[in-house]
Amino acid sequence: MRIPAALFIFIVIAAAGCRVYRVPPREVLDARFASLSAAARDDARAFDILTKITATKRLSGSDGAAKAVEAGAQIMRDAGFQNVHLEPVKVPAWTRRSESASIISGTGGGEETLRITALGGSPATPDGGITAEVVEVQSFDELHNLGDAAKGKIIFFNRPMDITDPSPFHAYSGAVDQRGRGGYEAKKAGAAAALVRSMTTRLDDHPHTGGITSFMDDEKTPVAPSAAVSTVGARKLHSLLKAGRGPVRIKLQLDCGFGPDVDSYNVIGEIPGVEKPGEIVLVGGHLDAWDTGFGAHDDGAGCAHSLEALRLLIQLKAKPARTIRCVLFINEENGLKGGAAYAAANDPSKHFFALESDSGGFDPIGFACTQKEPFFGAVRNIVQSLAPWKCDLLRPGGGGADISPLQQKGVFCGQFLPEPTYYFDFHHAETDTMAAIDRDELERGAAAIAYLLWAIADL
């Protein structure tokens, strides 16, 4: 439904030249939230959508990713999206074939299996694998100070995420450089391979993969064969090394590597605007996922949020002033080619706002967005209607990785914020499956996003 222009409240900043935004009255916003809440309760489809997206593993360049592209486009068509199309993207094709590790010496003697998984972008080990002594470090400086003692060794990066940090994402950022650059730094130091403690605070035997970012930045950069070890395995290794009863040696075998780049696609569909169809409010998530699991939280949930948000608006016969566009980006995990291709093919100046969902499918708590007035103040007014769901948090911030090229061009960007406590329990691990998803939490997230998109499209 459209709200007559006369009913809009105007948000104005007195400074000359400032843009003027119109915000629907509180009763209109509350009514929209109520209608979306009812739709999310009575006709929820986000979980079913996510089931279709996670039907295959879908690392960029794989057959599973190609199937997910087609599934995403079909979901859009079935829901009544308009202008559904595939946008070409050339993506890297890195393949994991086999991997294993075992401790072959230590206090107990014999051989003990170690749960590991190759890091994305890692080269393979030589035929027969690598057998070498393990050296533990907690920083790159500590590695550099080893000098010749690092040569030929397997470097074990064992700086954990800080469990006392109240922000899991901040704790992640304080440890993830080991995964992103560990293989590069190990190679530079003359080491044979790198093992990295999994990026999670959970103590379990499920290793978490992720991309070697130095390798993605420049595929000619030499990188040592690199793998993540589970937190249980990391604790075991640390205990053996701390005992000091002799060298600890590991046999590591990784069969993985890059093939030629592959043709793939971003998936795009929209609800055309009725007043300003040339101005776009974008929402999206990334369709690809690491191949260890099925990427239900990362980022199947973000794709389901985005698809369901537009489906709900279509179901309610919303007529937004601006076009609301859904983009399922490809290749976020190991290249960001989809986000770059979208920004190159679509004029950033025509984008009014872009929102990304890439933090999981847990209960919604709010949003982050560009802190520039009067836009930020208008959004702050909008999110107040989400208070019944305790989803009215608005904090300064920008968008996620896929919309970062748009943000660099000056587009106002934002992120959906779900409850973050347990996200890194599943992130990039084999446990990131539909079993980790709560149906009601996922649907509330989609409805909250739909509400925000609708209001911002009418500013």
The domains of the chain are located at 5-92+261-457, 107-247
Q: Which is higher by pLDDT, 12 or 89?
A: 89
- Examine the pLDDT at 13 and tell me if it is beyond 90: no
What distance in Å separates the CA atoms of residue 123 and residue 257, rounded to the nearest whole number? 5
Query: What is the predicted pLDDT for the residue at 18?
Result: 62
| pLDDT per position as a tens digit, 58-88 | 999 999 999 999 999 999 999 999 999 999 9
pLDDT at 39 over 50: yes
**Confidence at residue 147, expressed as pLDDT on a 0 to 100 scale:** 97
User: What is the average pLDDT across 137-143?
Assistant: 97
At 246, the pLDDT band (50, 70, 90 cuts) reads: confident
**pLDDT value at 5 more than 60:** no
What percent of the chain clears pLDDT 90, i.e. is strictly above it?
90
Confidence of residue 220 (pLDDT cuts 50, 70, 90): low
Model pLDDT, residue 19: 75
pLDDT of residue 413: 98
* pLDDT (tens digit per residue) in 334-379: 999 999 999 999 999 999 999 999 999 999 999 999 999 999 999 9
Q: Identify the bridge partners of residue 416 per DSSP, sorted by sequence position.
A: 367
Q: Would you call 219 a catalytic residue per the annotation?
A: no
CA 111 – CA 36 distance, rounded (Å):
57
pLDDT in tens, 156-191: 999 999 999 999 999 999 999 999 999 999 999 999
Let me know if 243 is exposed, middle or buried by CB neighbors in 10 A (0-12, 13-18, 19+): exposed
User: Do residues 302 and 287 lie in contact, with contact meaning Cβ atoms separated by under 8 Å?
Assistant: no
- Tell me the per-residue pLDDT of 419-432, one tens digit each, with 9 for 90 and over: 999 999 999 999 99
Residue-level pLDDT at 186? 97
Mean pLDDT of 134-139: 98
Per-residue pLDDT of 88-125, as tens digits, reads: 999 999 999 999 999 996 555 568 999 999 999 999 99
Q: Which of 136, 332, 356, 443 is catalytic?
A: 332
In one-letter notation, the amino acid at residue 128 is G
Question: What was the pLDDT predicted at 157?
Answer: 98
Non-local (6+) Cβ contacts of 445 within 8 A are: 46, 301, 305, 357, 361, 362, 363, 364, 416, 418
Query: What's the confidence (pLDDT) of residue 7?
Result: 41
Say if residue 6's pLDDT is above 50.
Answer: no
Q: Which of 9, 43, 13, 44 is nearest to 29 (CA)?
A: 9
Distance in angstroms (rounded) separating the CA atoms of residues 437 and 176: 24
Looking at CATH, the fold of the domain delimited by 5-92+261-457 is given as Aminopeptidase (3.40.630)
pLDDT recorded at residue 24: 87
The yes-or-no verdict on residue 317 having pLDDT over 90 is: yes
In this structure, which CATH number among 3.20.20.80, 3.90.1200.10, 3.30.2090.10, 3.50.30.30 belongs to the domain 107-247?
Answer: 3.50.30.30
As a whole number of angstroms, the distance between CA 450 and CA 35 comes to 11
For position 216, what pLDDT does the model report?
A: 62
**For residue 172, how many C-alpha atoms fall within 13 Å in the half-sphere facing its CB?**
18
Mean pLDDT within 233-248: 93
Please tell me the pTM assigned to this model: 0.94
Kindly report the average pLDDT of the chain as a whole number.
Answer: 93
